[in-house]
Every structure is written in structure tokens, then in C-alpha cells.
């Protein structure tokens, strides 16, 4: 029976020769992830159930990133709970202030996830790791508690949608524009509990960071996971980094897909998601004049070095628009140091932006940039729901680092082309 990439990974981890969509199974896990918001709930359930063992201390990752460095007493108590658990069970991969980063940028960087893996995380954007040819998906905290103990999780095998990405992206187009275009096309429930699988000659033009961004936001279309085939770009990224032996799975030529959607990357324009859904998209030439109060460049979606490089190249020698707050958040300490060595941080600060320690921060309305009533922010983050970044009557617009950096200079939603015209 022909299978998709996702189905092959699930079959292998369930010890089965084949699986089909809709089938229920239990699969062994390569990594289990929790953060400072979801882990405390899981730990309480773990203890309530009388569990007293971790299946593999090297296969559990606990990352303190959402409200860290602690923004208040509650955040401090949450981290203390996880820290105490990590010490008690000698968890190898516990990341706190000084070592932590935004989890979905940190784990690939540290070589903890890779091709062929089956991964769950108590965070919806765990699907990021599909960029490396892994099956990765978000779960609830109770499932996390059970997985920390057993090293297993149950799944319903998803059906799949095949996305064929064709041709070379146009100028100023990166992974963020591609996934926003797709979400705008199919809607926030267009891939509900399905696997979004990406193919096509256009993949050779997409960096690993582009792929991380696309896989990260598969959940914004309702998907169970997003996944890319392993190719030379993947292999180069994991070389000398991934700590286990990679396993490459390719979809069968006659694998069954619910539908096939073709996307001509050469025709895409920079895309912005307007409030209050990632699917409420407009191309840059249809945005009108939206005056902004805040720009956020960072997150597990677009806080990597390539994102900061894009922003720095646009902002170099320029000044942030008067009255605008610009917050730049490198996704990990390693990215922070690389950006510092390359002079990007100096460019941002000389322009009038601030640079934060790695944190999820304002992405989920945590800290480091909460919005007041009526304020508008443009962010390279992944969600713009009502109240996502602060007051329920604030607004969040989603866009690429190209748009964010250009908008930082003009004070309104703009593309780099606007800067050239001024």
C-alpha cells in the first residue's frame, strides 16, 4: 500500500509495515518537548498519576522560553516547578536563562531533532521540525505527561494535502509570504487534522529557514503537521549537528492525497495577514495605509539569523520612524551572538530599535512588548488572533522580515520598494 512521508514515519514508529489515514496507533517517540507554560500542567498530572520515572532523560526537552526571563511571580513559580522536576530526573536537555532560546529555533540548532523523527511537544508550533523531514506535532499537557513516562503517544493517522511549489520566488519573497499565501488560499481550517506535504522544483530555492517558517505555520491552516522531503539543503543543515542517525523517508509516487495544490512562487507578492486571522491576507499592493505603533522582529517563525540579516540590510543607516517602537528578538543565544558579531545588533540599535534577550515574549502577549487598546503592531510572528499581543482592542498584522524592516523605517506597512521610491 502506497504511503505519504508522514504515514511512513508513523508506521515505522508503530512497528507496522503500513498504515492508512484514519487508523489509530501508538508510536514510539524520539523526543518529547515541554515549555514553561505547558510543562507545569504536565508535571502536576505526572505526579497526580503516581508516575515516578522518565522514559529517557536524553529524549525529554524542557525549554523555559514563553515568559522567561520571568516576567512576574507566576512565571517564576512555573519555571521553578519545571526546574525542580528537571533536577529530580536529571533531564539532559533543560534550557533556562543563559542557555534557553525560543524552543522551535533552539531544538533544531542544538541537533535534538532531525530526519525521520517522531516528535511531540506541548506547544502547537512543534510542527516546525517537519522542515527537517520529521513528523512533529503539538499535543496537550496530559499527553505530554504520559509521554514523558512512557516514551509513546497515540495518533490518528492523518490524510494529506500535496503542495507543489514551482519556480523561483520573486524578489522580497521568503517562506513567510509562501505560507501566508497558502493559508489565505485554503483558510485556517483548510488542512484540518491533515498532513501538509511540500514538493516541487521550487524547494531548491527555499533555505532551511524558509522551510522552518512554512512548517511552523502549518498549524495555522489547522494541519496536524507540515513536512518537507529530505534533500541536500536538509543534509547540509544537520551535518555535524544532529545527534542521532537520520532516517530519510520519501513519499511513494502513488501515495494518496486528498488534493494537490500548485503554487507558482514566481508570481507571489509580499503578503500581509490583517487582523484577526492568519488567513485574512492581502498582498502588499492592497494594504492601503496602515500606520503602526510597534514592530516585532523575532519568534520561532522568523527570529533566525537570516531573518535578522534581512532586517539589518534594510535598516542599515536609516532611522526608525518617529513614535514607533521596534523590538528585535534573536531566537537563540547562538543567533544573538552571531548577529552581534556580524554587526546586526548595532545596526538595529543605531536605527532606534531595541534588542531583547531570546524569548517568545510579545508573540503570545507574554512580555517585552504588550499592546495597549487601539494600538497596531506588525510582527514576524505566527498568530494575530484577538488580544494575541495584548489588549483585545489592539491589532496585529503578520508579515516577513522584509516588510517588518521596511515598515520600521516608514512607520506604516511598507515594502522595501517603498524605501527606494522615497
If 0-12 CB within 10 Å is exposed, 13-18 middle and 19+ buried, where does residue 304 land?
buried
Q: How confident is the model at residue 215, as a pLDDT? A: 97
pLDDT digits (tens, 9 = 90+) for 10-29: 999 999 999 999 999 999 99
Q: SS3 string of 151-209?
A: CEEEEECCCEEEEEEECCCCCCCCHHHHHHHHHHHHCCCCCCCCEEEEECHHHHHCCHH
Domain with CATH 3.30.499.10 in the chain: 5-263, 272-414
Give the residue carrying C-alpha cell 542544538: 110
CATH class of 272-414: alpha beta
Q: How high is the mean pLDDT of the chain?
A: 96
Residue 356's SS3 state is coil
Rounded Cα distance between 20 and 32, Å, is 24
The number of C-alpha atoms within 13 Å of 97 and in the hemisphere containing its C-beta is 11
Residue 61's SS3 state is strand
Q: How confident is the model at residue 422, as a pLDDT? A: 53
pLDDT digits (tens, 9 = 90+) for 243-261: 899 999 999 999 999 999 9
**Chain centroid to CA 120:** 14
Q: The whole model's pTM is what?
A: 0.95
Please name the fold of domain 5-263.
Aconitase; domain 3 (3.30.499)
Q: Using 50 as the pLDDT threshold, list the residues of the chain that sit under it.
A: none
Amino acid at each position: 500500500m502506497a504511503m505519504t512521508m508522514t504515514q511512513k514515519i508513523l508506521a515505522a514508529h508503530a512497528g507496522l509495515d503500513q498504515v492508512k489515514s484514519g487508523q489509530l496507533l501508538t508510536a514510539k517517540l524520539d523526543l518529547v518537548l515541554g515549555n514553561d507554560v505547558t510543562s507545569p500542567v504536565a508535571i502536576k498530572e505526572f505526579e497526580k498519576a503516581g508516575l515516578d520515572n522518565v522514559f529517557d532523560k536524553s529524549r525529554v526537552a524542557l525549554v523555559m522560553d514563553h515568559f522567561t526571563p520571568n516576567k512576574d511571580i507566576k512565571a517564576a513559580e512555573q519555571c521553578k516547578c519545571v526546574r525542580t522536576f528537571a533536577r529530580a530526573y536529571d533531564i539532559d536537555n533543560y534550557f533556562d536563562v543563559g542557555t534557553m532560546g525560543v524552543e522551535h529555533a533552539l531544538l533544531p540548532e542544538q541537533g535534538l531533532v532531525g530526519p525521520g523523527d517522531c516528535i511531540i511537544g506541548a506547544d502547537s508550533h512543534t510542527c516546525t521540525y517537519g522542515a527537517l523531514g520529521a513528523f512533529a506535532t503539538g499535543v496537550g499537557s496530559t499527553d505530554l505527561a504520559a509521554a514523558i513516562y512512557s516514551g509513546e503517544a497515540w495518533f490518528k493517522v492523518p490524510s494529506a494535502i500535496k503542495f507543489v511549489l514551482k519556480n523561483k520566488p520573486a524578489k522580497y519573497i521568503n517562506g513567510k509570504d509562501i505560507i501566508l499565501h497558502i493559508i489565505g488560499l485554503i483558510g485556517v481550517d483548510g488542512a484540518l487534522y491533515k498532513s501538509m506535504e511540500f514538493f516541487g522544483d521550487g524547494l531548491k530555492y527555499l533555505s532551511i529557514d524558509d522551510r522552518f517558517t512554512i512548517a511552523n505555520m502549518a498549524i495555522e491552516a489547522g494541519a496536524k503537521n507540515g513536512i518537507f522531503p529530505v534533500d541536500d539543503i536538509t543534509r547540509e543543515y544537520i551535518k555535524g549537528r544532529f545527534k542521532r542517525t537520520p532516517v530519510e523517508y520519501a513519499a511513494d509516487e502513488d501515495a494518496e492525497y486528498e488534493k494537490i495544490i500548485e503554487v507558482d512562487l514566481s508570481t507571489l507578492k509580499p503578503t500581509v495577514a490583517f487582523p484577526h486571522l492568519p488567513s485574512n491576507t492581502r498582498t502588499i499592493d492592497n494594504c492601503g495605509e496602515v500606520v503602526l505603533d510597534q514592530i516585532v522582529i523575532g519568534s520561532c517563525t522568523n527570529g533566525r539569523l537570516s531573518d535578522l540579516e534581512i532586517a539589518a540590510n534594510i535598516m542599515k543607516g536609516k532611522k526608525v520612524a518617529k513614535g514607533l517602537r521596534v523590538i528585535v528578538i534573536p531566537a537563540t543565544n547562538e543567533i544573538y551572538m552571531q548577529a552581534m558579531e556580524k554587526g546586526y545588533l548595532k545596526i538595529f540599535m543605531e536605527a532606534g530599535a531595541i534588542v531583547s534577550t531570546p524569548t517568545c515574549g510579545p508573540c503570545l502577549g507574554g512580555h517585552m512588548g504588550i499592546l495597549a487598546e487601539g494600538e497596531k503592531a506588525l510582527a514576524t510572528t505566527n498568530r494575530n488572533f484577538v488580544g494575541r499581543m495584548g489588549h483585545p482592542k489592539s491589532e496585529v498584522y503578520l508579515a516577513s522580515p522584509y516588510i517588518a524592516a521596511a515598515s520600521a523605517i516608514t512607520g506604516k506597512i511598507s515594502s522595501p520598494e517603498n524605501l527606494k521610491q522615497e
